[in-house]
């Protein structure tokens, strides 16, 4: 099992906390390892013991934020299989993405906060693994298999439409000026209705929902392992 540095080291955890505080306060641009180390009350060389470069440290910070969101989704679905239903999962994923400043920033390409990390290849790989749109494509075949969505539509076209819907709602939430003439009191409810209108009402029974949740959790676990590999590329994950 891959162990993240902060799990075994209070010093590493303090460095990450300092980096998070500084990035949220002033953004990535111009931020140095020396400033992070000073905020964490350690020497600069100590930070380099855990992260060879500033890029490794800051990307590791962002990836951990995605990992925390993913863990929250895994825990919630494990506790309540019904959360895997499309009209519940889509709004929940979007809400989690919006609530986390780093996940939100990466998904909208916020260079003010993330600087070069906003378009960095490792960041794009992270989005391809656990961005909201990517997770939709991951679970869509499961939904189709267990009668949670319509199947009279080619998978790729259905996935494209669903990702476009999620991207549109994300844009509406982060750039409200684009929809100045239209406002709603409960956008999550609107998204839930839009997902049902797009994918059709689910026809799954309780056993199918539990099976879909179990398979979805397995897939999310695989994505979690892949994120860990991005954070600790030189370690084996099991």
| Model pLDDT, residue 225 | 93
| Model pLDDT, residue 1 | 40
| Model pLDDT, residue 133 | 78
Instruction: Give domain status of residue 13, yes or no.
Output: no
Contact partners, residue 66, CB within 8 Å, separation at least 6: 100, 102, 103, 106, 126, 130, 227
Token pair belonging to 212? 């879909």
> Which has the closest alpha carbon to 140: 124, 154, 128?
154
Q: How far apart are CA 40 and CA 25, in angstroms?
A: 15
Burial 34-60 (b: 16+ CB within 10 A, else e): eebbebbebeeebbeebbeebebbbbb
Instruction: Give domain status of residue 95, yes or no.
Output: yes
- For residue 235, the SS3 value is coil
Mutual angle of helices 187-199 and 155-174, in 10-degree steps: 170
Q: In this structure, what DSSP letter does residue 116 have? A: G
Instruction: Give domain status of residue 180, yes or no.
Output: yes
Mutual angle of helices 86-99 and 187-199, in 10-degree steps: 140
Instruction: Give domain status of residue 63, yes or no.
Output: no
Instruction: Give domain status of residue 73, yes or no.
Output: no
| Model pLDDT, residue 134 | 84
Token pair belonging to 8? 């075994």
Percent of the chain whose predicted confidence (pLDDT) is above 90: 74
pLDDT digits 0-9 by tens, 129-159: 988 778 888 899 999 999 999 999 999 999 9
Number of domains into which the chain is organized: 1
Q: How far apart are CA 166 and CA 155, in angstroms?
A: 16
Contact partners, residue 206, CB within 8 Å, separation at least 6: none
CB 231 within 8 A of CB 178: no
CB atoms within 10 A of CB 230: 18
Instruction: Give domain status of residue 19, yes or no.
Output: no
| Model pLDDT, residue 3 | 60
Half-sphere exposure in the Cβ direction for 78 (13 Å, CA): 11
Q: Which residues constitute the domain of residue 113?
A: 80-231
Instruction: Give domain status of residue 60, yes or no.
Output: no
| Model pLDDT, residue 178 | 62
Instruction: Give domain status of residue 30, yes or no.
Output: no
pLDDT digits 0-9 by tens, 190-216: 999 999 999 999 999 999 999 999 999
| Model pLDDT, residue 172 | 85
Low-confidence residues in the chain, pLDDT < 70: 1-3, 7-8, 176-182, 233-238
């Amino acid at each position: 099992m891959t162990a993240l540095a902060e799990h075994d080291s209070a010093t590493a955890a303090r460095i990450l906390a300092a980096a998070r505080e500084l990035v949220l306060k002033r953004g990535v641009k111009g931020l140095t390892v020396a400033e992070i180390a000073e905020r964490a009350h350690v020497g600069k060389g100590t930070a380099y013991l855990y992260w060879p470069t500033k890029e490794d440290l800051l990307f590791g910070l962002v990836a951990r934020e995605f990992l925390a969101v993913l863990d929250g989704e895994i825990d919630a679905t494990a506790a309540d299989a019904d959360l895997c239903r499309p009209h519940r999962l889509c709004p929940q994923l979007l809400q989690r993405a919006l609530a986390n400043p780093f996940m939100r920033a990466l998904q909208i390409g916020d260079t003010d906060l993330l600087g070069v990390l906003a378009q960095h290849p490792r960041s794009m790989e992270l989005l391809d693994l656990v961005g909201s749109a990517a997770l939709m494509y991951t679970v869509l075949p499961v939904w189709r298999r267990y009668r949670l969505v319509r199947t009279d539509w080619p998978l790729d076209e259905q996935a494209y439409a669903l990702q476009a819907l999620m991207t549109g709602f994300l844009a509406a939430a982060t750039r409200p000026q684009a929809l100045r003439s239209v406002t709603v009191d409960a956008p999550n409810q609107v998204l839930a209705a839009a997902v049902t209108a797009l994918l059709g009402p689910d026809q799954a029974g309780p056993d199918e929902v539990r099976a879909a949740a179990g398979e979805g959790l397995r897939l999310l676990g695989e994505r979690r392992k892949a994120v860990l590999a991005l954070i600790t590329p030189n370690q084996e994950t099991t």
